[in-house]
Structures are given as C-alpha cells and as structure tokens.
C-alpha cells in the first residue's frame, strides 16, 4: 500500500515508524518530513497546507492512504480535498477539525452535548477582561484559534489574568478569547481513534507542558510525555461514558464526519474528569510515547478508520 504522511515533527517520526512496521506498506512518503525520518520514508518537498498540491500528489502517485499528522492541514481542509478524489484520509475534515481549531466552537459542542467541562466566558478582549474580574483573577485564558500549544495562560492573580488577555488578544489566534474557571487535579491525555461510528481508546498518557524545571514557566506544546498512566477501571469507564460516548453521539447529531483521532485533554478534578480541550489529531509529544506500545498494525488501524 502507498501512503503519504503529512508533517515533520516528533509525532510524525513516531507515526512513520509505526506505519513502516506494517507488512501492508509498500511505499511511504513524508511531506515535508525531516532528516530523522529519511530512513523510514521518502521526503517530498510538498506544502502540507496546500490542499491542491497535496491532492495532485496523491492522484498522480497513486496514494492509497493519506495520514495527516498536524492540526494545521486539517484546519486548512486538506482532508476534504483529498477525500473528494476518492483517496481515504486518516484525519477529520475541516468541519470536524473545528473541535481543535476553535476553542469557542469546542466549548459550545461540549456544553450542548453534556460533556463535563469548566465554566467559561467567550468574547473579544473587553468581554474577556470583564470575565477575569468575575473569576477574581484565578482562571485560564485561552486564544480561540490555533496557537501551536502556546495559546493558553494559567493565571492565579487578577493582574496576571488581565495581562494574559492583552497578550493573547494581540496574537492572530486571539481575536476571540475564552476565560475559564481554574480547575485543579492531575491532567491526562486520552486519545481515541474514530471511524465515524465507533471508537477505540489508546493508552492514557500524560504530557508535561511547562517550559522550565519544577513545572515552572509558560506552557509549551509539550516538553515530554509518559505512557501508560495507570487509571482505575471505574475512572476509565467514567471517561468512556461521560466524554467519548457523548462526543461520538454529538458528532453524529451535528452530522460532523470525523475519521481520525479525537484527543481529549482531561483534568481529573475532585468532582470527576473534565474536558480542558479537544484536539483533532495525535498529541505531540504523546504519540512518541503511545505508538511504541501499540500491538496493533497502525497502518491497518488508520485505513479502517479512513474508510
């Protein structure tokens, strides 16, 4: 089978490694790939954010499966363009990817479909400033749009929260802001592969976002990850029922075609697990810790979901 993988990061390196282990693989391209992936895939000088260029490559080279690593190509509608040519794609279309590309959209989705999540206010900078005062400064300020994991600022004081609003509002992702109540508890990453009608959970993992030692400094896209994270059976059942079962039902009700990975960032609060965010792809760095533990044929898993 001929496969094209989009992306160039550590996550995509792990995905290339997992795909290359499959006996079904005949040819693997990576666009743009990285030097480290050279032994696993042929690198292609292709812009992964250009739906037309990706589609042409797939058609002209007989690609039988497109696997999308990062979030930006999904938000750009690459999956929709390639699917329109009859090529299976592991990754949701632009509409489904809004669960990641718009935090305001995701929050509305969670509330409408009964998923446990933090109280929040949504609006432009003036509304966000009013919200941080309502929360007394103890809150989380989030940019609505994609920010490479750097659009979230955790605040514990009013001056800090007001500064966070001004900082994020000045970015391209922050025209709309979310201000959420500050939840407490350990944070975990739960990822599931969806075929549009059902899902299978991947092992729980945990990424460490803070830039500096001692869990200090600003949030990053992820400094490291560990997997597995031990969870009691009762807690795992609660996560399945309250988060993923409701999310799957919500996707069906909203007629959102979602074939790929739904990643829920969860806070295990004293009141139970609550959804902090959704992502529409494998986590990075979590994929680097999760994929080596899979016994399944990753290529077959991707193809079964894509079809």
* Residue pLDDT, tens place only, 114-153: 999 999 999 999 999 999 999 999 999 999 999 877 899 9
What's the confidence (pLDDT) of residue 287? 97
Same-domain pairing of 270 and 239? yes
Answer yes or no: do 152 and 297 share one domain.
no
Residue 209's pLDDT is 77
User: Residue 121 has what pLDDT?
Assistant: 95
| Rounded Cα distance, 177 and 171, in Å | 11
Q: Domain check: are 106 and 249 in the same one?
A: yes
202 and 276 together in one domain: yes
194 and 292 in a single domain? The answer is: yes
CATH number reported for the structural domain that contains residue 141 in this entry: 3.30.1490.20
pLDDT at 51: 98
The pLDDT tens digits for 219-233 are: 777 888 999 999 999
Is there a single domain that holds both residue 69 and residue 201?
no
| Residue 109 and residue 12 in one domain | no
CATH number of the CATH domain containing 30: 3.40.50.20
Specify whether 107 is located in the same domain as 256: yes
Residues 281 and 256 occupy one common structural domain: yes
- Residue 157 is predicted with a pLDDT of 96
The number of beta carbons lying within 10 Å of the beta carbon of residue 217 is 12
User: What pLDDT is recorded for position 104?
Assistant: 96
pLDDT of residue 117: 98
Instruction: Identify whether residues 271 and 193 lie together within a single domain.
Output: yes
**In a shared domain, residues 194 and 177:** no
Looking at 92, 107, 136, which one is the last position of a domain?
A: 92
Q: What is the pLDDT of residue 259?
A: 98
Residues 75 and 171 in one domain: no
Q: Look up the domain containing 126 and give its range.
A: 120-181
* Domain end position, chosen among 181, 202, 234: 181
pLDDT given for residue 110 in this prediction: 98
Per-residue model confidence as pLDDT tens digits over 236-269: 999 999 999 999 999 999 999 999 999 999 999 9
Domain boundary residue, one of 181, 201, 232: 181
Task: Please give the average pLDDT of every successive group of 10 residues along the chain, which has 307 residues.
Answer: 98 98 98 95 97 98 99 98 98 98 97 98 95 94 89 94 95 91 96 97 91 82 88 97 98 97 98 97 97 96 97
Provide the number of structural domains found in the chain.
3
């Amino acid at each position: 089978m001929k496969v094209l993988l989009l992306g160039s990061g550590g996550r995509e390196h792990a995905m290339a490694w997992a795909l290359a282990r499959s006996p079904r693989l005949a040819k693997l391209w990576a666009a743009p790939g990285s030097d480290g992936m050279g032994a696993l895939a042929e690198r292609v000088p292709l812009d992964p954010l250009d739906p037309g260029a990706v589609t042409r490559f797939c058609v002209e080279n007989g690609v039988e499966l497109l696997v999308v690593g990062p979030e930006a190509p999904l938000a750009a509608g690459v999956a929709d363009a390639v699917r329109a040519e009859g090529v299976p794609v592991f990754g949701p279309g632009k509409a489904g990817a809004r669960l990641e590309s718009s935090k305001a959209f995701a929050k509305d989705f969670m509330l409408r479909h009964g998923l446990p999540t933090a109280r929040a206010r949504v609006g432009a900078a003036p509304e966000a400033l009013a919200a941080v005062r309502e929360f007394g400064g103890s809150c989380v300020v989030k940019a609505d749009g994609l920010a490479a994991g750097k659009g979230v600022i955790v605040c514990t004081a009013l001056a800090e929260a007001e500064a966070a609003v001004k900082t994020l509002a000045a970015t391209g992702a922050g025209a709309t802001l979310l201000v959420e109540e500050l939840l407490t508890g350990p944070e975990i990453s739960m990822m599931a592969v969806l075929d549009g009608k059902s899902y299978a959970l991947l092992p729980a993992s945990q990424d460490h976002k803070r830039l500096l030692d001692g869990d200090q400094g600003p949030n990053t896209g992820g400094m490291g990850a560990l997997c597995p994270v031990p969870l009691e059976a009762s807690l795992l059942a609660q996560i399945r029922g309250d988060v993923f079962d409701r999310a799957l039902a919500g996707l069906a009700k909203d007629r959102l075609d979602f074939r790929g990975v739904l990643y829920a960032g969860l806070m295990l609060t004293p009141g139970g697990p609550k959804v902090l965010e959704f992502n529409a792809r494998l986590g990075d760095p979590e994929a680097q810790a999760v994929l080596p533990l899979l016994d399944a044929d990753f290529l077959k898993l991707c193809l079964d979901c894509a079809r």
